[in-house]
Amino acid sequence: MRRWWLLAGAALAFLLCLPLMMVVGLGGMANVAAACSPQPPSVKLTGVSAVQSANAVTIAAAGSQMVVPPAAVVIALAVGVTESGLRNLANTTVPASLLLPHQGVGSDHDSVGVFQQRPNWGTLAARMDVFQSAGKFYTRLLAVPGWQSMPLTVAAQAVQGSANPGAYAQAETLARSLAAQLVGTALGGVCGTQPTATGAAAVAIAHAKLALGTMYQFGGSCTDPLSPDPALHCDCSSLVQQAWLAAGVHLPRTSELQYQASNVHLIAGASPTNLTNVPPGALLFYALGEQIAGLPGHIALYLGGGKLIEASQKGQPVAIRPVYQQTWVAAGMVA
């Protein structure tokens, strides 16, 4: 299904959000998951054992903390069911894994954990922590261009590289059932209360999230990130412009002009370590890339809870990251 994106009403301006010359927030969403491994809420899901239920809730909680689309949670659950039966497995060929908490023992190469991740996924401890391993899975899934339009088996295989990709289809019904049972569960607050966007800001944030996983394209209009035409993919300022346009608010095309816009009011005292007065939907400005007349060359959209969504640079997908301090300029509230 193609995403619903409003077409831009005007031609692209000459000044564009320029490609970044440095990598920011490396690890991105995986760092969010690694930052806290909460005790999941006490929820017993039907159709699975208590152990499987707890792992499903934890996988969904990791997705909630990273603010991934619900479809990503379904895919993650299907992979967990297929790879390990939703159990955190040690491995007889990895003796150190037997010394860590586990719920069963496997022997598939050197794979461990619910997602059967191999050493190239990270440390042994992280791969055998359900919350952190789920974060690693989501990070790779969201980096797959167009994953949301793929059948579940194709998206799962793009991440896992399984020798038997068709097996994921057998878990889809159960995964959807588990995900449906988790709707409305207080997963978003497991690592602290998250601010809730309302009104136009909620619409803008929802539309920005539709672009998750879309690869950055300098000069992209962000009017249809799933299109094979790179000119329609997102750069930093078009992501923000189209998100707020969906909410009925017109912003200029570039980060420099957005910083100067009459309907953007800079928030006094805001900083990466003081976001108290910064509402969800606010614009975060950074002095990255090549600035024009000393104005901010990069922009991101604030989600609340210390997280932002951005189209950062060539080779990187639109992603959610913790608010970072490097080259911070200001935060602006959209009127």
DSSP-assigned letter for residue 103:
S
Buried b (16+ CB within 10 A) or exposed e, 20-47: beeebbebbbbebbbeebeebbebebee
Task: Based on the fold, state whether residues 254 and 211 are members of the same structural domain.
Answer: yes
Could you report the per-residue pLDDT of 237-269, keeping only the tens digit for each?
999 999 999 899 999 999 999 999 999 999 999
Q: How many CB atoms within 10 Å of residue 328? A: 18
Q: Return the pLDDT at 4.
A: 34
Give the C-alpha separation, 221 to 5, whole Å. 11
Q: How many CB atoms within 10 Å of residue 287? A: 15
- Check whether 186 has a pLDDT greater than 90: no
Among candidate residues 132, 161, 182, the one where a domain is terminated = 182
Which single residue is written with the structure tokens 């976001």? 275
Task: Based on the fold, state whether residues 129 and 235 are members of the same structural domain.
Answer: no
Q: Note whether residue 62 is domain-resident.
A: yes
Q: What is the largest CA-CA distance in the chain?
A: 63
Task: Based on the fold, state whether residues 109 and 178 are members of the same structural domain.
Answer: yes
The three-state secondary structure class of 173 is helix
Q: Return the pLDDT at 207.
A: 85
Q: Which residues contact 327 (CB under 8 A, 6 or more apart)?
A: 286, 287, 288, 298
**Cα–Cα distance list, 99 to 75, 94, 125, 232 (Å):** 29, 10, 10, 50
- What pLDDT band is residue 19 in, cutting at 50, 70 and 90? very low
Task: Based on the fold, state whether residues 154 and 221 are members of the same structural domain.
Answer: no
Among candidate residues 133, 153, 182, the one where a domain is terminated = 182
Q: Return the pLDDT at 185.
A: 54
Q: Note whether residue 5 is domain-resident.
A: no
Q: Which two tokens stand for residue 266?
A: 């800079």
Q: Note whether residue 190 is domain-resident.
A: no
Task: Based on the fold, state whether residues 242 and 118 are members of the same structural domain.
Answer: no
Residue range(s) defining the domain that contains residue 47: 29-182
Q: Return the pLDDT at 117.
A: 95
Report which of residues 125 and 186 the model is more confident about: 125
Q: Is residue 14 packed enough to be buried (19+ CB in 10 Å), middle (13-18) or exposed (0-12)?
A: exposed
Lowest mean pLDDT among 96-105, 179-188, 200-209: 179-188
Q: What's the full length of the chain, in residues? A: 335
Task: Based on the fold, state whether residues 95 and 126 are members of the same structural domain.
Answer: yes
Task: Based on the fold, state whether residues 162 and 223 are members of the same structural domain.
Answer: no
Q: Return the pLDDT at 43.
A: 67
Q: Note whether residue 211 is domain-resident.
A: yes
Query: pTM to 2 decimals?
Result: 0.52
Task: Based on the fold, state whether residues 163 and 254 are members of the same structural domain.
Answer: no
Q: Note whether residue 165 is domain-resident.
A: yes
User: What domain count does the chain have?
Assistant: 2
Q: Note whether residue 187 is domain-resident.
A: no
Smallest Cα–Cα separation from 54: which of 63, 43, 70?
43
Q: Note whether residue 19 is domain-resident.
A: no
Q: Return the pLDDT at 196.
A: 66
Q: Note whether residue 17 is domain-resident.
A: no
Task: Based on the fold, state whether residues 227 and 171 are members of the same structural domain.
Answer: no
Task: Based on the fold, state whether residues 247 and 147 are members of the same structural domain.
Answer: no
Report which of residues 1 and 254 the model is more confident about: 254
Task: Based on the fold, state whether residues 160 and 86 are members of the same structural domain.
Answer: yes
Give the C-alpha separation, 333 to 335, whole Å. 6
Overall average pLDDT of the 260-280 stretch: 94
Among candidate residues 156, 182, 208, the one where a domain is terminated = 182
Pairing relation of β-strands 264-266 and 328-334?
A: antiparallel
